[in-house]
Structure 1
Amino acid sequence: MTEGADGVAGTGKGAGADEVAEQVRRLDERVEDLGRVIARQSQSLERLLDAEKKRSARDAAGADLALLVDLLALFGDASGCASSSADAADRAAFTALADGLERLIVGHGGTPVTPRVGDDFDATTMDAVDTRETGAADRSRTVAGVLRPGLNVGSRSVRPAAVIVYR
């Protein structure tokens, strides 16, 4: 093989077309191998991006739903104990516990739905589990009692508040 003026190996007088064809075939294999490596890397990057998007969407909601549902159950129990306690010291302790649980829920991206008696019934955040007759027309379709608080995460109602509604 001889080297030309540009520094590239040439075929020279003794080199045949078979040698050139073999070099082209090897080059073709290397290009194909490189193409496969790039395709695998691209697929890996796409998988990583998809996983990151899912994680970001979950983080954007700011919520671990299982934890929030458990915290909501404790919040409901503490609120119920506070409202039914006859002892002022117990009522204050349960209220403080409920307030702390509410802060945890809000800190993890949730919002407790705690309607009050007289609030308008909202089917998107409340579930009417029972009704109560009312003589006053202006009290119709308002909350008569709260059985269990609800939970919103972002704009989504994860667990509606269980309420009794006047009809």
Structure 2
Amino acid sequence: MSLHFAKVLIARRATTFGKVDFSEIIDLLAIYFCLTIIFKMTRIKLTFIVYGDMFDIDEFSKIINISPTEFAYKGDKLKFRVSTDTFWKYSFKDIISLYVEDSLKPLEKIVTPRIEEIASFMQKNNLKSIMRFKVETNKEPAPAIAFESNTINLLSKLNSSIDLDLYIYD
């Protein structure tokens, strides 16, 4: 339901046949208020990518215990280019939050119990990783882009860098 649709629905209900049922208007205003908040909240998408020269994608998937949403071996033809690295990519569902770090929680749940095995595999295969954040927000309120020390430690163990794309809408 769009905000425009909610406004029209409220206006129509309030003026239908000159009768006003305030309980319906209050319900519709509550829906409108909730939709306004949802549409103005910050949406964050995390993509975790492990890449390197050549490694066994199936073996890495078994270690991390999830299947990639996308992968390629070095030299594979992709949509617009040839892959220069072997990569394993997992895209998490979008979350709505003002804190960028909140989007890391699903990854932490997956990685933390297996961190030593993952880090060992990555070191053995000379792999790097990247945490790619796509942040879509309005001008206000601005998202908090900060990471706690435990997150920094996790990034270090995963030989990871951060890529943050910020999209600000009016």
What TM-score results when the alignment is normalised by the length of structure 1?
A: 0.29
Choose 1 or 2 for highest CA Rg: 1
- Name the structure where strand makes up a greater proportion of residues: 2
